């Protein structure tokens, strides 16, 4: 079986299926299709499937022309029907792994995908889990479902874990340019998975096991979460000491060794950094261990939206205005610059807190025309104008999209709370600018 699938990968006769065609799955499917594989995407969303089959992209990083050309060539298609897996030689699983409100992993999407794969599993099949999760997931959830069919992993079928490393909006590092960590259940599994991914990614990084690959991904994002927590607390401390945290970070960053700059902000957002470390923390709790750095960083980062709203209230108070009844414009609701993704965005917490305290909240985001999310009022992006900026009591910069003209914003707004240092260096005597 190993020789057969390696040959099919080499001559591009293998059919690849990608389960979950979102921010991770679609770019991966496109890269495999560009490598001359016939790729079938499987997703529960009929809307995504219809768009893909019509040759349209719904992710900003993937141009519609690229999708359209691949669909026209017969290299890329999509379906909601899991029966497509019966014809697959390789399956990459890129389904969501969110957290429940109790901060324990919601594994339902992985379990559902694993059950479907087990149902259509056949000899010679490669399965690679890409969804970020706790160490042991591949061995504990995917593997038992395959061996229950009588297959021997590493001989009849092949199983590996290769964590996604998608960075939405990154123009320099896409799927192909970002090194790919791969851990196999057996050496044969690693060999087959590496052979497949080497057709789509320039650099393969093999590790000793699926657990090692799972842990490596969690280390990457825990590193970022902890360091962002540190600099967010540094921002609070600098504020109490009457210092500018942005100046402090830039000065420290001149050291050519032993320091890596991180920057404060209104909190953490996105599908990785706020979520992934919690998988590890949860797993360690089952082993009677408290992941103290993770928990502390989560507490600090989670408190930043409250800190931002306090800054708004303080600025309004100096103008003899209560937060209750004031008009507050939030600039940017996506979790990071120049993307349309609002998952775990700190803007959602900021808006919720402002609304809870009685403010009239408006927002503008060129990438997010409407906002429909639990815990915040239904809103539509307001058109930016001189009149709007002058007519609100406070502007809160949450996401520093490159589309914004910060000098123009500062020229017309009376009070700005800037959580991203977007207005650095601007001279705006008519506006009071409060930075973290």
272: annotated active-site residue: yes
Sign of torsion over alpha carbons 376, 378, 384, 387: negative
| Cβ proximity of 191 and 241 under 8 Å | no
Pairwise CA distance, residues 26 & 37, whole Å: 14
Residue 267 burial (10 A CB sphere; 0-12, 13-18, 19+): buried
Residue 193 burial (10 A CB sphere; 0-12, 13-18, 19+): buried
| Cβ proximity of 85 and 117 under 8 Å | yes
| Cβ proximity of 223 and 190 under 8 Å | no
Pairwise CA distance, residues 312 & 329, whole Å: 11
Pairwise CA distance, residues 32 & 200, whole Å: 6
| Cβ proximity of 119 and 83 under 8 Å | no
Tokens of 234: 């540094």
Pick the catalytic residue from 94, 121, 238, 272: 272
Among left, alpha and beta (phi > 0; psi -120 to 50; other), residue 392 is beta
**Active-site annotation, residues:** 272
């Amino acid at each position: 079986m190993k020789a057969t699938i390696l040959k099919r990968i080499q001559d591009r006769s293998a059919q690849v299926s990608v389960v979950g065609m979102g921010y991770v799955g679609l770019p991966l499917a496109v890269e495999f299709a560009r490598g001359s594989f016939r790729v079938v995407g499987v997703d529960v969303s009929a809307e995504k499937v219809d768009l893909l089959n019509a040759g349209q992209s719904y992710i900003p990083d993937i141009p519609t022309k690229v999708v359209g050309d691949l669909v026209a060539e017969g290299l890329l298609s999509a379906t909601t029907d899991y029966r497509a897996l019966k014809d697959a030689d390789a399956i990459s699983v890129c389904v969501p792994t969110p957290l429940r409100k109790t901060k324990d992993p919601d594994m339902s999407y992985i379990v559902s995908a694993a059950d479907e794969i087990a149902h259509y599993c056949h000899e010679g099949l490669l399965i690679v889990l890409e969804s970020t999760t706790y160490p042991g997931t591949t061995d504990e959830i995917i593997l038992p479902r395959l061996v229950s069919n009588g297959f021997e992993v590493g001989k009849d079928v092949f199983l590996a874990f290769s964590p996604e490393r998608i960075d939405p909006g990154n123009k320099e590092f896409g799927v192909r340019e970002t090194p790919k960590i791969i851990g196999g259940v057996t050496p044969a599994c690693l060999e087959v998975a590496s052979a497949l991914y080497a057709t789509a990614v320039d650099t393969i990084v093999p590790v000793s096991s699926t657990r090692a690959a799972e842990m490596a991904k969690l280390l990457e994002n825990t590193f970022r979460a902890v360091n962002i927590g540190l600099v967010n607390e540094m921002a609070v401390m600098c504020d109490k000491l009457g210092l500018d945290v942005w100046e402090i970070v830039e000065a420290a960053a001149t050291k050519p060794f032993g320091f890596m700059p991180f920057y404060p902000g209104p909190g953490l957002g996105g599908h990785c950094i706020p979520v992934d470390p919690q998988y590890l923390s949860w797993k360690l709790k089952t082993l009677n261990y408290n992941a103290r750095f993770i928990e502390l960083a989560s507490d600090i980062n989670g408190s930043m939206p409250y800190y931002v709203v306090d800054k708004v209230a303080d600025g309004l108070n100096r103008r003899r205005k209560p937060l209750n009844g004031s008009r507050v414009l939030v600039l940017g609701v996506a979790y990071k610059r120049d993307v349309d993704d609002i998952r775990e965005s700190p803007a959602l917490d900021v808006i919720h807190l402002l609304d809870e305290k009685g403010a009239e909240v408006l927002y503008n985001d060129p990438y997010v025309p409407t906002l429909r999310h639990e815990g915040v009022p239904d809103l539509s992006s307001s058109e930016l104008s001189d009149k709007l900026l002058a007519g609100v009591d406070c502007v809160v910069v949450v996401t520093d999209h490159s589309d914004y003209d910060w000098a123009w914003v500062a020229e017309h707004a009376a009070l700005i709370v800037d959580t991203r240092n977007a207005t650095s260096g601007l001279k705006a005597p008519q506006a009071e600018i409060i930075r973290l």
